[in-house]
Structure 1
Amino acid sequence: MPRKNTPDIPGTDCKNDARKTLREGRSALAEGLAQASSDALPFEHAYSRLLDTYFRLRLAELGTGHDRVALVAVGGYGRQELCPASDIDILVLCNRSIPPQAIDLAQALFLPLWDEGFTLGHGFRTVSDCVKLAAHDHKVLASLLDARLVAGSPALLEDMVRRLDERVLPRRSHAFLSWLDTEHERRLAAHGDGTVLLEPNLKEGLGGLRDYHRILWLARIRGKAGTVEELMAQAGFSSGDATLLRQAVTFLHGVRNRLHLLSGRKNDTLFLDLQPGIAQTMGFHDDGGLLGVERFLGALHRCMSDIKGLSDAFRGVPGGPVLPVSPCPEVDAGVVIAGGAVHLCLPDGVEASPRLTLETFVRAAASPSGPTPRLDWNTRRRMAAAIAGRASELSGVEVGRALIAILTSARAFDVLEQMDAVGLLPALLPAYGAARDRVQFDGFHSYPAGMHTLFTIRQLEQLATNGPEPFATLWRECPEGAGGGAEPGRLSVLLAALFHDLGKGLEDASHHEESGAGIARDVLSAWGLPAPVVDDVTFLVREHLLLMRTAQRRDLNDEAVVGQVAGIVGDRARLERLLLLSYADASATGPKAWNRWAASLLDELRGKTLNMLRDVEAGGIHTAGSVGDVLARVRTLATHQPTTPPLGEDIAAAFLAAMPPRYVVANDPERILRHMEMARQLNLDVEEARKRLEPGRAERGLVVMEGRPVHGGRESDLWEVTILARDQQGLFATLAGVVALHGLNVYAADAFVWRDGTALDVFHVTAPPDPLYAREFWGKVRSSVQYAMTGKLALDYRLEEARASRILPDALREALRRPAEVRVDNGLSDFYTVIDVFAPDRPALLYDVARTLQSLHLDVLFAKVSTLGNRTADTFSVRTAQGQKLTDEEHLAEVRAALLHAVASR
């Protein structure tokens, strides 16, 4: 039940000014916290005692007449867990009624706190009010379980505690436990599992402080009280478990205190930009190839994992502790799987071995049905002790045989996650241990490298039941390749998923695909796997980024690009295995890596590569075959179209004669017909303008624009914007700038110039702010293009304002700065030069690059924009004004220098 009262602080003099004491004490504590390392005295205890001192001094300053109330700390204040920006939850407890002078007491107590910037959660309640509320509101009951007397009448708090014990807890205990379970699921849905996230919620995420509070409430609802050590002992846990919990909670509090201090407000989400500063103040520095912030995040995740595991065990969920009242069944084997839990039952004095530990996980993976059994807490702790420094007792063949059995069990994710938690997986695969805590602070990856690896395996396993197409079908049709067979199959993909990012554990992880392939070859050979499987896994690891990089950065209408992919993969079966790995890797990275756009690009590349592998001209998934077939289909549609008036054969023939082959290959007949309708409207607008203006001025700024959703209806997250205009200087750059000005992110852009001088640009962008008024929105975008092209809109000035509102936080910029990079390649295409630009993301970056290319008299024919968190990887296919590739070395050097200046100058 509620904690014992905190003793008075020695030396307290009631004649001191309470407000002055509070102000000076708070300032000193904040200064000490900012300078302290992780082993400093817990800030929250000292802060809570400072507030206790204030309330006692303040109550004494008010004189007599207040001895019939009790100041009771509840919630975090009651637990003495106040962080710098925590709410001060204080209850003024009265006997049978709230006295008339309550308002005067409230003003005297609380106004100084409000003046000092504190946030208060306060109220006046009678003992009966508290009991009634606790009987119906579980949140109120939870807060009262943490009640602690600060000042005033002890008898009032004792009376409330007694009534709760007698009237509420016996009747509401079961419902309260169910509420705790419901809250657990709600927290998981709302805040995720903090033990794996790069930006965990330190309070509400799983493994956060709420899991610790859950332990305290569970103990107190059972009528137990005392210190954490006493509570743990009463529940059957060891003193070592209690120490582990205390250390983990202390560390978590230390992080949360500094998070509040750096945020300057109440904040429980550990955002990336604040992590370097917190890591430094807590004594984490770069060491052994790991950044200090990576070492810090690894320690935090392990602490949260321990809290999460103890909370689950304390509740008695499957995997809870084997208590003295329910001993292990007496069986010959040391491993017992029963009731959804795995128990390692050994006689007293007998320690677990690495071999028995590994065999335990193999048996858990082989469980016949139902959820994967979970380790009970005692087993988890015994395993961790058994593994330390003894993994070398296992041979490579033993390890390989066991891990292959686990990977092919359809329970690999659940089992490997538990192996990771006890330290077995890092011990068996040192390369995994080296990469486990690696973090890419790019806003793109949602998990550290180790957990991302496990999630990649999970994505593959889920394809067997409810995965997206075509990957679910590919997985079902892929041969198993298990059982020691020499033929590659699903086993190759699962092994590649396990190894694909292990190269990130090396000090130089810039080419982690190559180093990861070397690791895979060495380890799999030591495991004794057949050479074809080793070769296949090595290939998959080395090329696991090939398909996504090509799909997101290259012009898939260029046969040379598709032919290069087809040449690398070699055959359909290997392409399908690489597709499976690419999907699992991207979807396990996070929502910014896998979305409808990424899926559609990968599917397009898949179709075209299959066509190339079948020796069929790679004309695109939606084309009707050759260019001639497409043109014939367009003529038919134009003749029989239901539009008013119809285009007619002559107009259609003129348009078709003006279209370059690359345009015809890139678009299906229906889209081409729609573009012809837009081109006819553009011609009509130009003719009308020429009646009023001379030809040069008449055409400038005239555009025809259409925006339509790519997937589904107006609520689609991806829109295609088509713009037609007369070809004119700076058109592409202007379009890119206007799109950015209206808050849209660009995924890709295609630029075509017909032989009649019609410029056609297609942008794939994010959805309009309000899709219900999309027509009005695109009308504003069209007007902005016209104004910018005719000098009525200062595009540079407007975009500069947008840039000023979005600045990468200095802490993250300085801790993880990566310079911009420009690569030029003339070998990727037979028709144009490919320029890759890698730079920190910012508004209108595409505009800056396009304007720079324009100033160098280069035509942008194609652009793809991949935003990887806070960095972009943008690709541009360009030609000179004469329609040639860039071959002059001096010109190329000038292009590189100009682009680097453009992307780094703001």
Structure 2
Amino acid sequence: MPTLLEKLETSGANRLVLPAGHLPMQELARYKTFLKVETHRLKIVHRGGGGGREVCYARATLMDILLRYMWDAVMNSLSPESQKGVPSIALVAIGGYGRAELNPFSDIDFMFLHEGQVVAGNKPLPYLSKLMDGILYPLWDLGLKVGYSVRSVDDAVNAAQDDMLSKTSLIEARLVTGNEALFKKLQKAVLARCVEGYETKYIAARLQDQAARHNKFGNSPSMQEPNVKNGCGGLRDYQNLIWMTYFKYRTRSLKELVAKELISETEQKQLDNAYDYLLRVRNEMHYHAGRAADVLSKNLQPAVAHNMGYTDRSPSLRLEKFMREVYTHARNIYLLNRTLEQRMALLPPPPTRLQFLKGFIGRGKAKETEQPAVDGFKFIDGYIHAANPRVFRDQPRRLMRVFLHAQQRGLRLHPDLAQLIRSQLALADRAFLYDEHVRETFLTILNQRGNVAPALRAMHEVGLLGKYIPEFGKLTCLVQHEFYHQYTADEHTLMCLQQLDRVWEAKEEPYSRYAELFQKLDRPFLLYLALILHDVGKADGHGKHADVSSQLAERVARRLGLDGSATHNLRLVIEHHLLMANISQRRDLDDPAVIRSFVNEIQNAEALMMLTVHTFVDSVATSDKLWNDFKDTLLWSLYSRTLPSLTGGTEFIRAEEVQRELLAEEIVRALPGRISEEELHAHFGTLPSRYFQIHSSPEIMRDLSLTHRFMHLQISEHENALQPVVDWHNEPDRGYTVAKICTWDRAGLFSNIAGSFSAAGLNILTAQVFTRSDAIVLDTFYVTDARTGALANREEKEKLEELLNKVLTGDEVNFRALIAKQRVNRPLYQSYEGDQMPTQLHFDNETSESRTAIEVETEDRIGLLYAISEALAELELNISAAKIVTEKGAAIDTFYVNELDGSKILDPGRQSFVERKIRDSINKL
């Protein structure tokens, strides 16, 4: 049984041999018949399930056969004497034709290669002119799209030396017919003069071109109307990898890369399968459209799906199955390409943490000193590596913790580590899903406002996110049928998370107004979780997806151990995630009944703030054309009109009281015998309402026990009433150590505590500061080793307690000198010289009735909190509360202060003096 290629050759031999003396232009009918019959043969092979590469290669072979017979016919028409005098000439295929990959209506690009003596004054001599005319005119008359050039070896090489596209075309060049020695001369010249010495420049140009393509076509392999050729994960990405590895390793195929052990056989198989499938899709697009086509548009998808064998009775179901396969293959090309580009050092080193923060791209990074292994991982040159191949088998919880380490340090997973995770996903079993340590790590990742999307995208790309949240996993490459959606369901969700991160650090409208709400949320993880789960009901396909998503969210909340309040608000936001857009855009907001009805649905202020931000990011992540200023104004108006009903009335106040009473009753039932109810009532009666909003009953019990220990010291016989009580708790799943401190309030207390931590070599990630009305202070600090980012060790804890005891019992401690010694070791998040983030201060006298909120945003560094609080102490300002946040290498701290007489800082001159004092203190670090 002859092969397809043998049938093409036989057909050419039978149809394309011209009578003696005949030229191709005289035999157009013959060529038309050949092309018509053999093109139809290829279409039958394709529709019968023929592979993309098989059909494309056969199409290139078909063109080879046609051109060879035309070439021979023209040559044979010359007299014997003329044939002897013809100089060396070759017909060379370039571009896709040179790769021997021609889709049905792709251009046919070739070059007439000569040695120079067949061209005079830029005009071809008769020999070459007759050959060109004898081939080009018939091709044009046959309706073929032809791109051609006429060049000598030197011409070709000179044109390609500074042009990436010409260079690429030449490295794929292939001899169709003519002088083989001349073609080999071209190949040698290209290697010597266009490749050797140009490797770095060429790879950089290809990466730049790839980035530009991705930006142009949506920067995602999951676009609703993907560009199969040029989009993310398209055919060009695969080709790009082949071209770059040729320049770096002189390989021409993935098989050669496997032989050099640069990629695995599994990776090769995945890439080849994906490339073949997308070529097949493009073949069908060409056949169906009757012309070249690259964009798999919505109106093209149903017919392409049907013609490729997706024949479910339901049109939507067959479309879903087909597009899911398209997205899966495109995603494989995109992710594997990126992994291989990193592994084979085709990419420049990743930027520093601060460069990520400020959006710097392409700046080099100095080599980092390799740190000792932390939790089984090493952090080297911007990447996180496994310390040994058994790192996950020894402790499966590290599958989640590795993303926390990467997030906290601004690192990327090394390609080998990413592959190790993919190969060991079986460790994420049922026990892993219900493991409380894994849960704590996951929620900690979600709580890092402004820095969540990169961690979850990385988690999704290796397959862990869908394993840990199976409800979300079902969205992978799921088609969204709504016309306004740009992305698949999973990609839309990741884009939502990315938009929410953008809200956190926004300085410009419209994002900045939502930043205010986002920053007020005490449980940011809830909003991130709501976004992850808001569309999971779409995978079910039955009922309203918001209702189904809400039900599935409750199941996830149970697995994650969320309390009743968190679960309730999570479900509220997901169930109503379309409600605010609908009401704001379709209802009369001046009608009090509309607002009352909405208030009844939303129920509380936290849910309202979450839903407002959710609505905004969900909309802008759906399509870049969906949101506008008018919709933004309507949404903000609905929020503004609803908020007073949830915060200003007696109903709200009573709801707070009921919540506090329920907490107290729960704690009374679990109260240990050593703690009296009197202590409990004192605790509940002397702390602000915010304390009870953000603390769970176990946390309040821990604070009660700490306060009890402190009060016990006051009645002991020893002279230690001024000494603090410190309670340490390591949280390896969250990547930090918690230190709770209970003591009497006094001037400069916060500054002394912050200085003690820094002097002990501990970096403060965040802090919660509460002062009871009876002057008992309860401060909670979340800290890590300032040098390695690991948990606090025993020596650091002992040093902290020693310093605290000294400074709080009246001894002098030179914190500046002690902190300066810590600078000997490079702080984990220190930036490079010249990359300093500017310090910004803002005075807010509106948020609180009795205090001024001083917001300080600056680059995080060891001793920063001490420097700020020391300045506030010297200014004789009382710190009654503080919100300390470290995100992405930036410290964003808010101090609630008042003057000694209890007044706010209202005078502009006093504000300027306070700002100058804080800046001076920071600059001295």
Report matched runs for 1:512-661 at 5 Å. 512-610=545-643
Secondary structure of the residue aligned to 2:75 is: coil
C-alpha distance in 2 between matches for 1:120 and 1:100:
22
Deviation at 1:79, TM superposition (A): 0.9
Amino acid aligned to 1:463: V
* Residue 254 (str. 1) matches residue 280 (str. 2): yes
Report matched runs for 1:433-832 at 5 Å. 433-466=473-506, 469=509, 472-476=512-516, 478=518, 489-508=523-542, 510-610=543-643
Cα deviation 1:67-126 (Å, max 9, x = unaligned): 721111111111112111211111111112434133322222122222232211111111
Q: 1:353 to 1:192 in 2, by over 3 A?
A: farther
| Corresponding residue number in structure 2 for 1:428 | 468
Q: 1:198 to 1:7 in 2, by over 3 A?
A: same
8 A Cα contact 1:252 1:300, kept in partner: yes
Secondary structure of the residue aligned to 1:597 is: helix
C-alpha distance in 2 between matches for 1:504 and 1:466:
31
| Corresponding residue number in structure 2 for 1:48 | 60
C-alpha distance in 2 between matches for 1:383 and 1:241:
14
Deviation at 1:181, TM superposition (A): 2.0
Secondary structure of the residue aligned to 2:397 is: helix
Q: 1:276 to 1:38 in 2, by over 3 A?
A: farther
| Corresponding residue number in structure 1 for 2:800 | none
Cα deviation 1:109-165 (Å, max 9, x = unaligned): 122222232211111111110011011222111111110111111111111111122
Q: 1:348 to 1:203 in 2, by over 3 A?
A: same
Q: 1:330 to 1:258 in 2, by over 3 A?
A: farther
8 A Cα contact 1:38 1:251, kept in partner: no
C-alpha distance in 1 between matches for 2:397 and 2:646:
47
| Corresponding residue number in structure 2 for 1:29 | 42
| Corresponding residue number in structure 2 for 1:63 | 75
8 A Cα contact 2:89 2:182, kept in partner: yes
Report matched runs for 1:333-482 at 5 Å. 334-347=376-389, 355-367=397-409, 372-388=410-426, 390-396=428-434, 397-409=436-448, 410-466=450-506, 469=509, 472-476=512-516, 478=518
C-alpha distance in 1 between matches for 2:339 and 2:417:
11
8 A Cα contact 1:72 1:91, kept in partner: yes
Deviation at 1:433, TM superposition (A): 1.8
C-alpha distance in 1 between matches for 2:63 and 2:246:
25
C-alpha distance in 2 between matches for 1:351 and 1:283:
42
Secondary structure of the residue aligned to 1:125 is: strand
Q: Which runs of 5+ in 1 are unaligned?
A: 1-5, 323-327, 482-487, 617-906
Deviation at 1:10, TM superposition (A): 5.6
Match of 1:15 among 11, 14, 17: 17
| Corresponding residue number in structure 1 for 2:96 | 76
Match of 2:293 among 243, 248, 267: 267
| TM-score normalised over the length of structure 2 | 0.60
Cα deviation 1:39-70 (Å, max 9, x = unaligned): 57621111111111111111122234467211
Amino acid aligned to 2:404: V
| Corresponding residue number in structure 2 for 1:183 | 209
C-alpha distance in 2 between matches for 1:53 and 1:272:
37
Secondary structure of the residue aligned to 1:528 is: coil
Secondary structure of the residue aligned to 2:88 is: coil
C-alpha distance in 1 between matches for 2:344 and 2:568:
41
Deviation at 1:490, TM superposition (A): 1.9
Q: 1:472 to 1:25 in 2, by over 3 A?
A: same
Q: 1:317 to 1:238 in 2, by over 3 A?
A: closer
* Residue 234 (str. 1) matches residue 260 (str. 2): yes
Q: 1:547 to 1:152 in 2, by over 3 A?
A: same
% identical equivalent positions: 27
8 A Cα contact 2:447 2:525, kept in partner: yes
Cα deviation 1:717-752 (Å, max 9, x = unaligned): xxxxxxxxxxxxxxxxxxxxxxxxxxxxxxxxxxxx
Q: 1:192 to 1:599 in 2, by over 3 A?
A: same
Q: Which runs of 5+ in 2 are unaligned?
A: 19-29, 77-82, 349-369, 650-925
| Corresponding residue number in structure 2 for 1:296 | 322
Q: 1:528 to 1:349 in 2, by over 3 A?
A: closer
Larger mean Cα displacement after TM superposition, 49-58 or 278-287: 278-287
Secondary structure of the residue aligned to 1:22 is: helix
Match of 1:164 among 183, 187, 190: 190
Match of 1:105 among 131, 148, 169: 131
Cα deviation 1:190-229 (Å, max 9, x = unaligned): 1122412111212222211221121121122236144331
Secondary structure of the residue aligned to 1:273 is: coil
Deviation at 1:495, TM superposition (A): 1.4
8 A Cα contact 1:552 1:598, kept in partner: yes
Q: 1:164 to 1:382 in 2, by over 3 A?
A: same
C-alpha distance in 1 between matches for 2:417 and 2:6:
40
C-alpha distance in 2 between matches for 1:348 and 1:526:
27
C-alpha distance in 1 between matches for 2:587 and 2:545:
21
Report matched runs for 1:99-138 at 5 Å. 99-101=124-126, 102-138=128-164
Amino acid aligned to 2:236: R
Amino acid aligned to 1:202: V
Deviation at 1:7, TM superposition (A): 11
C-alpha distance in 2 between matches for 1:538 and 1:608:
23
Amino acid aligned to 1:408: N
Larger mean Cα displacement after TM superposition, 125-134 or 9-18: 9-18
Secondary structure of the residue aligned to 1:151 is: strand
Cα deviation 1:234-260 (Å, max 9, x = unaligned): 361122222222111111111111122
8 A Cα contact 2:93 2:173, kept in partner: yes
C-alpha distance in 2 between matches for 1:350 and 1:528:
24
C-alpha distance in 2 between matches for 1:353 and 1:301:
33
C-alpha distance in 2 between matches for 1:413 and 1:439:
21
Secondary structure of the residue aligned to 1:192 is: coil
C-alpha distance in 2 between matches for 1:77 and 1:330:
52
Deviation at 1:318, TM superposition (A): 9.3
C-alpha distance in 2 between matches for 1:157 and 1:282:
39
8 A Cα contact 2:195 2:247, kept in partner: yes
Cα deviation 1:476-526 (Å, max 9, x = unaligned): 454676xxxxxx632221111111111111130x41111111111121122
C-alpha distance in 2 between matches for 1:287 and 1:418:
37
Q: RMSD of aligned C-alpha atoms?
A: 3.2
Deviation at 1:30, TM superposition (A): 2.5
C-alpha distance in 2 between matches for 1:219 and 1:272:
35
* Residue 174 (str. 1) matches residue 200 (str. 2): yes
8 A Cα contact 1:566 1:612, kept in partner: yes
Amino acid aligned to 2:223: L
C-alpha distance in 2 between matches for 1:124 and 1:183:
27
